[in-house]
Amino acid sequence: MPGTNLTREEAQERARLLTVDSYEIELDISGAQEGAATFRSVTTVRFRAAEAGDTFADLIAPAVHEVTLNGESLDPAAVFADSRIALRGLSQGPQELRVVADCAYTNTGEGLHRFVDPVDDQAYLYTQFEVPDARRVFTTFEQPDLKATFQFTVRAPEGWTVISNSPPDFVRGDPHTPQPSDNLWRFAPTPRISTYITALIAGPYHSVHSSWEGEGRSVPLGIYCRPSLAEHLDADAIFEVTRQGFDWFQEKFDYPYPFEKYDQLFVPEFNAGAMENAGAVTIRDQYVFRSKVTDAAYEGRAETILHELAHMWFGDLVTMEWWNDLWLNESFATYTSVACQAHAPGSRWPHAWTSFANQMKTWAYRQDQLPSTHPIMAPIRDLDDVLVNFDGITYAKGASVLKQLVAYVGMDEFFQGVRAYFKRHEWGNTRLSDLLGALEETSGRDLKAWSKAWLETAGINVLRPEPTCAEDGTLTGLAIRQEAPALPAGAAGEPTLRPHRVGVGFYDLVDGKLVRTDSVELDVDGELTQVPLPRQRKRPDVLLLNDGDHTYAKVRLDPESLANVTRHLGDFADPLPRALCWASAWDMTRDAELPARSYLDLVLSGIGKESDIGVVQSLQRQVKLALDLYAAPDWRETGLTRWAEAALEQLRAAAPGSDHQLAWARAFAAAARTDAQLDLVSGLLEGSETLEGLTVDTELRWAFLGRLAATGKADEARIGAELERDATSAGERHAAAARAARPTPEAKAEAWRAVVESDALPNAVQEAVISGFVQTDQRDLLAPYTERYFAAVKDVWEQRSHEMAQQVAIGLYPALQVRPETLEATDAWLASAEPGAALRRLVTESRAGVERALRAQAADEAAGAAG
């Protein structure tokens, strides 16, 4: 039986047979406030069959009451089973299917999610349908290439606001047309779109409205959040970024915004960052900042806003035919969102490519070295495949490759191709060849070989400089060696040497700063490429490959450059080359080429000079990870002590009230370990200790308290008192994490029962409990749970929804137990449990992390022995 899965072959056959015209969907959510478990869903879908035959519609529902096909009543018990409604004996031509069902509210962030705000005791609903969850709310043909129009009619509780893809379709004064005051909301039909980007958001939401004006058109803009967050909603800043995106995208795409309005809805307990529902984007409401955050957080939020706005064209107007071309949506949205930040007039983040290099590409490099590495254009056999494929390759590697393509063909030519693509395929579905064809036409380049090398193969290349010098120090030659390391064990494909568009930067120390004194840009192809030297000159202090970050490759420094970077990394005059060197050093640490203790030395020597707050925060996370996982166990405590002392020193030295001060306050809290350090954290929390300019607000209080709980310095009473002070849903999550973090067998057993032995927790609280449960200082306490994980994970996977099961499968894997026995236990489970492909992939990825950590720990131990 198919369960809730759908294969590509099934989708292709259904698309061959059917053309879907329209959906009319009636939902009765009037019982949502009172806590009803289900809601009535009535779907009428009109479609056409190309020939006589059998097919099926999709629905996940506790009860189906009526199924009517072309006026004939069918027995639900006979035709509805296993998430499918069998449609047998279709004749050629028009068809009409009507289904009446009771569908279920969820607390998992899938389908129609219901959340009750503890502040006002009001219910708030939103839908999340990507990949296959519209079928949890109405009857569908759940695949992206069966587009149709959608008209929603919704009965809601008194006083609620309902938002969907289209504006409400009320005719004032018409007694036959439902009015908002009747609690019945009818929406205008959408254009032809895919099921997964339809949306419904309902509840007593707070809203702010404005508009975008341009090209003789006014597009209504709305921002929504719960009333309990309204005081924190910085709507003007969100509107500013949104309008910037409208201006830049309309110019670059030369295609009018495709929908009638643009709402952004900050919703609770959202699993992802955001979702590109057509005209009604849902965004996790942690982006409504309750407390002070650094500018990096605002930059990250802006990238998310722009990413989803770009999807209105990439993904919503033109949609991939099947999920193997998911990158057509995600890579383009990622690339264009960062490009907008970097190039749009008046942007607050002109150095957005620095953040991209330091964060997004690091994510891609990590993903591309796992056993699950795959081509950007990934082979997707079924829905189970795509559900685990929203990864660093699909988003970040794809965007990196597009950035290189832009450098290769030119930005103007690139966007000319994009414009042709939109006009040619508006409201339709596409494959890779459709986009490449448009780009080839406008660029004049043959992209077939480029596509095969970059989009259709897996793995990552390494670029190394090979300079030659005369005895007097004159640089006489420079070559770039390209390597294609073997793919990880279990990965499909062969190592591939690829063409790269590469900048080479020549940096010299001038008045204490590393500045670019020469540069060359060239195409690299094959194993060895000679670099034309810009002039006769001495060897530079630093030779930096991929200067400008055009290509996607791991970059190494030659020994002299590495020595100079180690002494002067913080002295680069520009932020991007600094970020590239930081990223290279981190990758070397992960690859066991740079010992963890040496990485700590490098960071401590340069982080105090790093001005980019996003880079600072990335380095803080990476140092902590290196010490927790990659340091030799007998030296780990020494390294963690050094880091805690350095974090406190940086905190005291930071400018009062600055982003750096806030970042270092959080880093110090996470690192504090001695009684004196923890007493300072406690004093800052209680107010008996102060630092000039540091406001210990709600979120920072929870950061302090979480560390105190994890070290046994805060008990249940202290956690409860803080929750009473912050009696919000965010407070509930923080309290759940703090309780699970306590270093006692009882706290761990309680957390395990709540997550593994019960399915009552909502998604956001479950995630918080898991994060608290896994504490790097508690390896011995957590060791017994390795066996319990393998005993439980398959049952959890088979019994829970995808999002809830994935949290458990990834979050509770014994990643801290870095020893051969963990690998052996994993291998034994993989051999005996026979997990499905999706669960096997997640566990195998986690296993690879332990294997990598063992190699890094061995390298660090060897460095210590060498003295």
Instruction: List the chain domain ranges.
Output: 8-203, 228-258+287-458, 461-586, 783-867
| pLDDT of amino acid 445 | 86
**Strand-strand pairing, 280-284 and 262-267:** parallel
pLDDT bucket at 328, cuts 50 / 70 / 90: confident
Reported as a single tens digit per residue, the pLDDT across 276-290 is: 999 999 999 999 999
Q: Is the model more confident about 364 or about 178?
A: 364
pLDDT bucket at 181, cuts 50 / 70 / 90: low
pLDDT bucket at 316, cuts 50 / 70 / 90: very high
Q: Are 266 and 284 in contact (CB under 8 A)?
A: yes
Reported as a single tens digit per residue, the pLDDT across 260-275 is: 999 999 999 999 999 9
| pLDDT of amino acid 549 | 95
| pLDDT of amino acid 766 | 98
d(CA 102, CA 450): 50
Mean local confidence (pLDDT), 351-357:
94
pLDDT bucket at 102, cuts 50 / 70 / 90: very high
Whole-structure pTM value: 0.96
Q: Which listed CATH number (3.30.1490, 1.10.1240, 3.30.950, 2.60.40) goes with 461-586?
A: 2.60.40
> Pick from 466, 459, 449, 532: which is nearest to 491 by CA?
459
Crossing angle of helices 659-671/675-686, nearest 10°?
130
Domain 8-203 and domain 228-258+287-458, same fold? Reply is no
Reported as a single tens digit per residue, the pLDDT across 188-227 is: 999 999 999 999 999 999 999 999 999 899 999 999 999 9
Per-position DSSP letters for 283-306, written without gaps between them: EEGGGS-SS---HHHHHHHHHHHH
From the number of C-beta atoms within 10 Å of its C-beta (0-12, 13-18, 19+), residue 2 rates as middle
Task: Tell me which CATH homologous superfamily contains domain 8-203.
Answer: tricorn interacting facor f3 domain (2.60.40.1730)
228-258+287-458: CATH topology is Neutral Protease; domain 2 (1.10.390)
| pLDDT of amino acid 2 | 55
| pLDDT of amino acid 172 | 39
| pLDDT of amino acid 215 | 87
| pLDDT of amino acid 176 | 57
pLDDT at 1 over 70: no
Q: What is the mean pLDDT of the chain?
A: 95
Mean local confidence (pLDDT), 40-51:
98
pLDDT at 169 over 90: no
pLDDT at 134 over 90: yes
| pLDDT of amino acid 175 | 52
Sheet holding 80-81, edge to edge: 53-58, 84-90, 80-81
Specify the range with the lowest mean pLDDT, choosing from 11-25, 437-451, 459-473, 544-558. Answer: 437-451
- Give the helix/strand (H/E) hosting 419: helix 411-425
**Catalytic residue numbers?**
308
The token pair at 37 is 């478990």
Mean local confidence (pLDDT), 406-411:
89
pLDDT at 174 over 70: no
